[in-house]
Amino acid sequence: MPSIELGDSIPPNTAHAVSVSLPTWRSNIGYEEGEQWVLGVMVTGYPRFFIHKSIQAFGRDIVAKYGIANQQAILFPTKKTANRCLEFIRNKAPEPVLKDLDILHLVLDPTKKAPAGLPDTPSISAVLCTSDSFPFAKQYWQHSGDGVSSRRAEFYHALFKENMLVPEDKAPSSPRPLNKLSRGPKRYRRTASVDDTQNGSNGTNNNRQYPVTLDPPADETTTDALESSRFLEERYGRNLDLSLVPNAKSAIRRRIAGVLTTDIDLESTAALPTMDSNARGISNFKEDDIYLVPCGMNAIFTTHQTLLKAREPQKSINFGFPYVDTLKILQKFGPGAIFYGRGSSADLDDLEKRLEGGEKFLALFCEFPGNPLLTCPDLARIRRLADTYDFAVVVDETVGNFVNVNVLPFADVVVSSLTKIFSGDCNVMGGSIILNPNSRYYTSLKQVMTAEFEDTYWAEDVIFMERNSRDFISRIERVNANAEAICTVLAAHPLVTNVYYPKYNDSRPNYEACKLPSGGYGGLLSCTLKTKAHAMAFYDALETAKGPSLGTNFTLTSPYVVLAHYQELDWAASFGVNPDLLRVSVGLEEDLVDIFTRALKAAEEVQEESA
């Protein structure tokens, strides 16, 4: 990938990109310290940390129309998600901060016709808060993954600007007679094709504005006044055939189950293969045991909330060094958690002593492999302890991914971030939850999910995710091979002190116990160099995209610990996570060995200068 300027989106020129370019070590530090030379040029950022500018713009307009001075709006897809945010703020913020805290639910004006292909009552909710309470709302947004997606915000912002949304408590009780809606001028007509990249359905430059005509123009024929709902679908659906969304969701679920491995035609139900009840190596598996959510962190948040309702609320266990927000969720949204940061056999010994002593736990959450050290917990032993002492096992398979490993037989719930390698294109968010139908908790979990689960995965995001994921199996095979080649180069170099990869870690037997016969060792690796100066020189010289996220079709590198744990570097180091560690998400490029060799030569020059 060509050099990407500081603050530009990754991929470049992508309206809904998931990553942002931080091309030097110094720019990563500047980002963490809030320096304007970095923040001021960022066009986007990772969506749970950086609120997309489309969402910010909609929020400003909501405050201008319905808020008061000094308020900000943070947006959620439903009343339920907004109310959860409000409850979090009230529980966490001191009393003085709660002043001028409010919530606004916007619904489609019942005197207007809903755009085709969407719910009969489109709605969006905003938590209105001051600058004092906003950081607490932002915490909820980041940890829970409940916030609106940028595509959803653009859709509803268009409705809002055309006065089609009104506050729920002020909506007319009965609709007025509608003027006949026209299809609009011929120059605005477009076909509704999922694969029409020329009209902006590929995630770039698709923020076009097309007017809605409420009264037929005098120069339009009777034919031009027909099919108003289709025109609205084109206008608000952005040239995506929303009738395909149910099939797209089904295709995604069946790919996750492993029963859909080839390309399909969404318009043909016959193209979707029958769900194998023995998929993923377990019996009784059904498609409706897989739930799609807006992002990977929301999968963890929803699973934890579901367990708290399905079982007696108790502390959880975070086993192994985690992605930052997993631990925050367990600590902030329930009775708390105990943390085993190394995820070692000694940690399991200590946990077993606690269990033997009578301590009770809700669930054990772990990653397979972990991020960023790529170590793997002993799932077989964890499963035995869970069966003996009655706690649930939740495994995040994002890094390993289900083409390489099968962790479901060891877990009660498996979660994943579809944003990563499943999508690959770095332009859409998504997550999944799988309930193991043979779990002792399945019935109670299913009951809670049936009663409580809200499908908030935005239709347009679903379409992009389905399309992106069609070739994910072949991509993973190439990524696996590229990652091993890079590990070989790094491990052979005298300046590289450690290479972290499932194939080379001490926990490899735990990985092999879950590895599929055709699987590899994944596309994520980390390394450390002799000194911080070496690490900085290597990073700055590396000719890959550089920014947050992982699982992209292109190689993406970051000084991960700086980005994820800048305020707690000593804490991370206490669990063996070097503050200067570099994490590499390996892509599909063909010249990666040369790219990494050149960067290592740049690090060698630092050694020569020091000498």
For residue 606, give its domain range: 473-610
Question: Would 179 be classed as within a structural domain?
Answer: no
Taking the C-alpha atoms of residue 105 and residue 428, their distance in angstroms, rounded to an integer, is: 25
Q: What is the DSSP letter of 149?
A: P
- Give the pLDDT confidence score for residue 315 in this predicted structure: 98
Average pLDDT, the chain: 87
Angle at 100 (CA atoms; ends 161, 57), nearest 5 degrees: 25
Q: Do 255 and 293 reside in the same domain of the chain?
A: yes
User: How far apart are the C-alpha atoms of 420 and 553, rounded to whole Å?
Assistant: 9
d(CA 58, CA 290): 32
* Model confidence at 101: pLDDT above 70: yes
In a domain, 5, yes or no: no
Q: Is residue 96 part of a domain?
A: yes
- Indicate which CATH number applies to the domain containing 556: 3.90.1150.10
Tell me which of 467, 492, 524 is where a domain ends: 467
In a domain, 25, yes or no: no
13 within some domain: no
Q: pLDDT-based confidence at 556, cuts 50/70/90?
A: very high
Residue 191 and residue 269 in one domain: no
At residue 272, the pLDDT reads 75
Q: Are residues 152 and 272 in the same domain?
A: no
What pLDDT, on a 0 to 100 scale, did the predictor assign at position 203? 35
More confident residue, 323 or 516: 516
pLDDT at site 48 = 92
Q: How confident is the model at residue 180 (pLDDT cuts 50, 70, 90)?
A: very low
Domain count, the chain: 4
- Please check the confidence at residue 397 and state whether its pLDDT lies above 70: yes
Same domain, residue pair 269 and 415:
yes
Average pLDDT over residues 465-477: 95
Same domain, 408 and 486: no
Is the Cβ–Cβ distance between 201 and 240 less than 8 Å? Answer: yes
Listed residues 136, 170, 204: the one ending a domain: 170
Whether 99 and 205 map to the same domain: the answer is: no
Residue 582 belongs to some domain of the structure? yes
528 and 454 assigned to the same domain: no
Query: pLDDT value at position 270?
Result: 64
Asked if 276 and 385 sit in the same domain, the reply is: yes
Kindly state whether residues 391 and 271 are assigned to the same domain: yes
Domain final residue pick, 440, 467, 494: 467
Q: What is the mean pLDDT of residues 445-462?
A: 96
Q: What is the pLDDT of residue 230?
A: 37
Taking alpha carbons only, the member of 311, 320, 521, 525 closest to residue 413 is 311
- Assess if residue 297 is contained within a domain: yes
Average confidence (pLDDT) over 22-27: 98
Q: Cis (ω within 30 of 0) for the bond into 177?
A: no
Residue 411 and residue 297 in one domain: yes
The model scores a pTM over 0.95:
no
Give the residue among 237, 238, 213 at the shortest CA–CA distance from 226.
213
**Are 123 and 235 in the same domain?**
no
Specify whether 450 is located in the same domain as 409: yes
Residue 31 placed within a domain:
no
Question: In a 3-state reduction of DSSP, which class is residue 127?
Answer: strand
Q: What is the pLDDT of residue 266?
A: 79
